[in-house]
Amino acid sequence: MTDILPAEADGSLERLAAAALWADAEDAPLVVRRLAGPPGDRVWTVLATPDRDGAVFASIGADGAGHIDLIAVDPAAQGRGIGRALVGAAEEWMRAHGAAEARFAGNPPCYAWPGIDVRYTPAACLAERLGYEQYRVAWNMTADLPARYDEAEHEADLAKLAAAGVTVAAAPVGERAAVAAFVREQWNDKWAWEAENATGLHYAFRNGAYRDEEILGFAAWGARPLWFGPMGTAPAARGLGVGRVLLRRCLAEQAAAGQTSAQIGWVGPLRFYSRAVGARAERVFWLYRRALG
């Protein structure tokens, strides 16, 4: 059997991921780098063949389950049992770290995909062949960039926000503590990590006394490289147009960075994204799991 050993997530793995992951060739190297820099308390590993023609990232989730975060075999080496051996090695590592269940599913907040993209059919076959069962479906939406929306509606949204004393602004790296605290308090630590690690972070606040801004909502992109999300508006501020305006700011920034489309990851409210920026449901992911005996 092929030796599968702990490895460095270096350039060779970035090239391997780009070669194997045909539907993600552009962002695969960025995803490898992202998975190699998860939250500090995450238990994770990367295992690879000696020739670096196959690799698997695995981690333990907050509930103790094991996750296969990314698996890739070089196209020239596929069909020879490497994929099967990688899953076996990942499962052994998971067992050694106390996991009673293994999943082909994203481990938020630092993930590559929600599950197996249905178009990576050999990966779905591999999971099923090894006794995994499909337990959930997830999907992304796609917004073409520049985003399409009604300019008059957008102007009306901005005017409504101004009249309500609401300002929207970017939170650059190094100045994200207040927004991250808002996200943690309103939602959870996972979204707060994504906000802190996003490429772009925008937020809305109501002007208060000096240094007493009331934050109402946020939107982020690039925590999962090149994807939009997460975003959220505090319940009391919903219906003002805060979410629409923040979403469009992020997408404008993604367009300015050269992206011709943006994936809205692991959604979520179809109708909101469909109406706000003409996004369509597109990628579908199957989440798989099996008990580790």
Ligand X SMILES: CC(C)(COP(=O)(O)OP(=O)(O)OC[C@H]1O[C@@H](n2cnc3c(N)ncnc32)[C@H](O)[C@@H]1OP(=O)(O)O)[C@@H](O)C(=O)NCCC(=O)NCCS
Contacting residues toward ligand X, per CB under 6 A: 20-21, 71-73, 78-84, 113, 116-117, 120-123, 125-126, 129
Q: Which one, 59 or 233, has the nearer CB to ligand X?
A: 59
Write down the least CB distance from residue 21 to ligand X, Å: 5
Q: Which one, 55 or 240, has the nearer CB to ligand X?
A: 55
Write down the least CB distance from residue 127 to ligand X, Å: 8
Residue with tokens 């070089």: 74
For 54-71, give one letter per residue: b (16+ CB within 10 A) or e: bbbbbbbbeeebbbbbbb
Write down the least CB distance from residue 37 to ligand X, Å: 20
Q: Which one, 129 or 148, has the nearer CB to ligand X?
A: 129
List Cβ neighbours of 72 (8 Å cut-off, separation of 6 or more).
16, 17, 19, 20, 21, 54, 55, 56
Q: Which one, 23 or 162, has the nearer CB to ligand X?
A: 23
Write down the least CB distance from residue 18 to ligand X, Å: 11
Write down the least CB distance from residue 219 to ligand X, Å: 26
Write down the least CB distance from residue 121 to ligand X, Å: 6
Q: Which one, 86 or 145, has the nearer CB to ligand X?
A: 86
Measure the CA–CA gap between 177 and 92, rounded to whole angstroms.
Answer: 38
Write down the least CB distance from residue 118 to ligand X, Å: 10
Measure the CA–CA gap between 261 and 258, rounded to whole angstroms.
Answer: 9
* 107 contacts 59 by C-beta, under 8 angstroms: yes
Measure the CA–CA gap between 115 and 287, rounded to whole angstroms.
Answer: 5
Q: Which one, 80 or 136, has the nearer CB to ligand X?
A: 80
As given in the structure block, the two tokens for residue 6 are: 């702990």
Residue at shortest CB range from ligand X: 83
Write down the least CB distance from residue 216 to ligand X, Å: 36
Q: Which one, 120 or 193, has the nearer CB to ligand X?
A: 120
Q: Are strands 214-221 and 101-104 parallel, antiparallel or unpaired?
A: unpaired
Q: Crossing angle, helix 28-35 and helix 11-20, to 10 degrees?
A: 130
Q: Which one, 112 or 161, has the nearer CB to ligand X?
A: 112
